[in-house]
Amino acid sequence: MRLEYFEMIDQVTSLDRETKRIEVSSVVPQESPVFEGHFPGHPLVPGVLLTETMAQASGYLVLGLMGFTHMPFLMGVDKARFRTFVGPGTVLSVTAQLEHEGSGYAVTKASITAEGKPICDAELRFRIMPFPEGMDGLMRTQAKRIGLLEESV
């Protein structure tokens, strides 16, 4: 993870097209400017960045299932729960499940665990739109970085 660059996903572990589920892993860095403020002397990953991590896992799931034809943009977070603290060096397992594929939108349920213990979970909604100009290539580059493209497209 590079928190300050919003690179929340390190590696795609699996993408199951039949069950429409993705599993990814991420390791919280030992150091980050984020920890200088959150909180001085007591580094904790902010809940908003855990939400972003679940959203990115969900986004890559939607991208992979749709073959990178459209871009999912986060539009709603429901039922978010943060169950414990996350500090530097924690190995995160993130899963996202497609709950509903609507016309122009998608709904996922996502969760994060560490060593089998629940960290957080939420229901996320995305608006599905054509790629803004140039974003297609950026997303494909990121997808290659995390090992998604080789597996899905």
Residue positions annotated with a catalytic role: 38
- 20 vs 125, which CB is nearer to another protein? 125
- 87 vs 102, which CB is nearer to another protein? 102
- For residues 83 and 120, the answer to whether their CB atoms sit within 8 Å is yes
- 112 vs 122, which CB is nearer to another protein? 122
Decide: helix, strand or coil at residue 152: helix
CB atoms within 10 A of CB 86: 21
- For residues 75 and 127, the answer to whether their CB atoms sit within 8 Å is yes
Give min distance, CB of 87 to another protein, in A: 35
Give min distance, CB of 115 to another protein, in A: 34
Residue 44 neighbours by CB under 8 Å, 6+ apart: 35, 38, 85, 86, 87
Give min distance, CB of 75 to another protein, in A: 6
- For residues 131 and 90, the answer to whether their CB atoms sit within 8 Å is no
Residues that bind another protein (CB under 8 A): 75-76, 100-105, 107, 125, 127
Amino acid at 36: E
